[in-house]
Amino acid sequence: MKEEELGRQSPASLRLAEAEYFLWEYIRHCGPPIDSYFKMVCYFDAFLFSLVSVEEMIGEEGKRQLQTDVSFRFLKALRNISTHHSILAAPIQGKFERPFSRRVTVSVGGSPNDSSRLSLRFDVLRQIFDVVEAERKQEAKTLGLAREFVNDLEASGKDVFLEEIMQHAFNSAKGVLANA
């Protein structure tokens, strides 16, 4: 976005543009030619903060619509945990065990499509939610909704990758802003 375009954006639209940038940078750093776990962590955190701040910059109807998206509510819980407790995607030296597993795929014999993706560790996420809720009772509603989302994802039996959830929540916020 060019500098002169910045002034024509609403605060929520600008935050959403930031979230989109961080999402694409996160994905770009998930494999060749760039594979940087540090940058994945940085862009994931930046994405969380930008996306969730959209909720605070829109009207009440938009907030209600955004809060109906389960992936957004899940990422909001992760943002709250990242704000007050730990960098979730960082190694285990933090307050919690890392709730993601890094999956690396390597192509053999074809065009390179190697990737490094973060999949969710459902059991660790639930443990984190329990600890945070015990420390911060005011987070109970957000954490309860995030727990439900994790349970539903686990029940699906599929591998769930972080960028898929990020993309879904971004699309939801984009749709809410488009209709505002």
For the stretch 79-103, pLDDT in tens is: 888 776 766 666 556 677 778 777 7
Residue 60, judged by CB atoms within 10 A of its CB (0-12, 13-18, 19+), counts as exposed
Pick the closest to residue 44 from 74, 13, 19, 72 (CA basis). Answer: 19
Q: For the residues 109-135, what does the mean pLDDT come to?
A: 80
Q: Which domain holds residue 100?
A: 3-178
- Residue-level pLDDT at 139: 86
DSSP state, residue 161: B
Residue pair 129/111 in contact (Cβ under 8 Å)? The answer is: no
Q: List C-alpha distances in Å: 57 to 12, 45, 110, 176.
A: 5, 19, 46, 12
pLDDT tens string 30-58: 876 677 778 888 899 999 999 999 999 99
What predicted TM-score, i.e. pTM, was given to this entire model?
0.86
Count: domains in the chain? 1
Neighbouring residues of 164: CB distance < 8 A, sequence distance ≥ 6: none
